[in-house]
Each structure stands twice: as C-alpha cells, then as structure tokens.
C-alpha cells in the first residue's frame, strides 16, 4: 500500500510529537493531528483535528506522544476519545513512556473493538527525532508491528520487537532508568571535579577513554561544560515521572533496587529547586546549587 493510501493520525504534537509528525509528513504520509495547543498541528505540517475521536475517525494508524499514562488513558478512553470512534482493523501506536500495566489494559480494551495497540517506546531525544534516527522498542503482535513499520521507518533507524503487549514500555522504563542514573551520577562527579580544580574537558577525555564512560559523558557534558545544556530535550519533571514508573515496575517484578532511591532523589531535588520544567541536564545545576553555587562553565572574563 502506498504512503498516500495510509491515513496517519497523531495525538500529542509537543516537543517530540511535533518533530516526529514532521518526519512522517516528509515521508509522504498525510497526517491528521490533534493537540490541546491547536497551533501545534499546523506547525508540524498536519491537518488540524477537533479531538482524538476525530483523529481516529479519519485515520488508519493513530500515533500517540503524550506525557504519561493518565493522559494516554484519557485520550483513549475519555469523552471524544479514540476508543469511541475506533473501528476494527485500526492500529494505535503509543510512543509515550507509559506504565506497562496501563498499556496492557488499554490493549485489552482496544482489542474488544478489533483495534491493535503497539506500545512503542522511543529513545534518542529531540535530535534523533529531527534526524529520523530514533530507536523504537515495541510491544504487541508481530502482525500489527509489521503493518505500521513503514510509518515508523520515517522517523526511526532501528525498530526492535520486545514481545507482547507492555514489553516495549517495559524496555523503555529500564532504559530510562539507566539514562537517569548515568546523568545524575555524572552530574555529581562533574561538580566534584570542578570543585577539585580539574580541567573539565580533559577530565571528560579521561572518562571517555576509561571505565566511567557513559551516554552522559559522551554526549551531554562535553556541551554542558561550555554552557550548552541541549535545551529542548526531556525535562526534569518528565525524567522524574519515568524514574517513578521504573520504581513501580521494579516493585511489581519483585526486583531489589538499591540504586533507584538516590537517582529519584537527584531529580526531586532539581524539581524542588525550580529546574523541573527545564531540560533534565539541569540536574547538574541543582547539585551545584547545594555544593556552594558551582557551575561547570568557566566564568566569563
């Protein structure tokens, strides 16, 4: 089936959803979009829909990019939601970072109407969304994933099927915990390095050729030490939400987590100090605030 014949809907056209929608449109798919901020659909190149239900009525594939499970549940199950307008044969793809248990229940509810749900956690951030190089970890039936894969290929470089319903969101939470803990730990270490008088670019070179290397040392802090916090990515509040979902998942799996509390505390601290609505990289400034007002950047002269 050609791209023009597949009608794509998108609900949630914010930081990530807007970027992804632009990639889908560039890939030749018409997109019908809804966001509580009505201007966002036009900015992303989509046709504006009046509600999630209107998106479902006018689409074959509906993608969601929303803040959390309660919002996803409202969009799917609420008044003017997707479920009431859905029809057999449609596929809903949830790109949000959601609770796997909520995802499994939504899968069940949609299946009663003959609608498939694919939970598709995404990783790579705003830059990868712009470039169409996101990584997708998907849960749901193989047949449903195959049906939507051409659309996913417009904004992703790798698509992994992790298992049945909820498996994609489970993989995303596990990944995001490692993302959060490496960011928080590296922030702490970099503040300590600044206070110890180390030259930070050289120190990062050491870390990146040593056993302390991680995504934050490679991709975040070489820019942060020069004052570029990579604004536009995941906020501290959303990181905190993901970490709390991880802790909930780990409890459900009956796995001991001696490290989660400290990581969560770091982003709670950032929220308390007013950095919650800024990019999660600002956790380094929260730690710096309580360490004598430390900033990694060299003071301007």
**Burial of 143: CB neighbours in 10 Å, binned 0-12, 13-18, 19+:** exposed
Percent of the chain at pLDDT > 90 equals 93
For the stretch 202-259, pLDDT in tens is 999 999 999 999 999 999 999 999 999 998 889 999 999 999 999 999 999 999 999 9
Query: Domain boundary at 134, 164, 194, which?
Result: 164
Helix and strand numbers, DSSP H then E, in the chain: 15, 8
Number of domains in the chain: 2
Shared domain check, 144 and 22: yes
Shared domain check, 104 and 224: no
Report the alpha-carbon distance of residue 143 to residue 84 in Å, rounded: 24
35: phi then psi, degrees, rounded to nearest 5: -150, 150
Report the alpha-carbon distance of residue 253 to residue 32 in Å, rounded: 38
Q: Which of 98, 250, 174, 130 is nearest to 118 (CA)?
A: 98
Range of the domain at 200: 171-289
For the stretch 57-86, pLDDT in tens is 999 999 999 999 999 999 999 999 999 999
Query: Domain boundary at 164, 187, 206, which?
Result: 164
Pairing, β 134-139 against β 156-163: parallel
Shared domain check, 252 and 116: no
| pTM, 2 dp | 0.93
Pairing, β 134-139 against β 116-123: antiparallel
Structure tokens belonging to residue 23: 């990639």
Catalytic residues: 172
Say whether pLDDT at 43 is over 80. yes
């Amino acid at each position: 089936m050609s791209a023009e014949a597949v009608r794509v809907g998108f609900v949630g056209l914010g930081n990530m959803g807007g970027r992804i929608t632009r990639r889908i449109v560039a890939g030749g798919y018409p997109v019908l979009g809804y966001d509580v901020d009505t201007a966002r659909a036009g900015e992303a190149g989509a046709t504006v829909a009046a509600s999630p239900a209107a998106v479902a009525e006018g689409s074959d594939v509906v993608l969601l990019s929303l803040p959390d499970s309660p919002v996803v549940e409202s969009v799917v199950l609420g008044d003017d939601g997707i479920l009431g307008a859905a029809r057999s044969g449609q596929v809903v793809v949830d790109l949000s970072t959601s609770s796997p248990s909520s995802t499994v229940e939504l899968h069940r509810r949609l299946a009663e109407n003959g609608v498939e749900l694919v939970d598709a956690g995404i990783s790579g951030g705003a830059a990868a969304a712009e470039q169409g190089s996101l990584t997708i970890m998907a849960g749901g039936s193989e047949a449903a994933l195959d049906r939507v894969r051409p659309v996913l290929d417009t904004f992703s470089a790798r698509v992994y099927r992790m298992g049945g319903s909820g498996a994609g969101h489970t993989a995303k939470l596990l990944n995001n915990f490692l993302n959060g803990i490496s960011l928080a730990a590296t922030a702490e270490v970099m503040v300590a390095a600044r206070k110890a008088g180390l030259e930070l670019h050289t120190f990062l070179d050491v870390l990146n050729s040593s056993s302390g290397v991680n995504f934050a040392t490679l991709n975040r802090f070489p820019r942060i030490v020069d004052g570029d916090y990579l604004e536009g990515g995941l906020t501290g509040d959303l990181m905190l939400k993901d970490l709390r979902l991880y802790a909930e998942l780990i409890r459900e799996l009956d796995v001991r987590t001696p490290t989660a509390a400290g990581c969560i505390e770091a982003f709670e601290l950032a929220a308390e100090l007013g950095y919650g609505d800024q990019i999660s990289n600002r956790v380094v400034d929260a730690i710096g605030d309580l360490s004598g007002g430390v900033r990694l950047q060299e003071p301007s002269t």
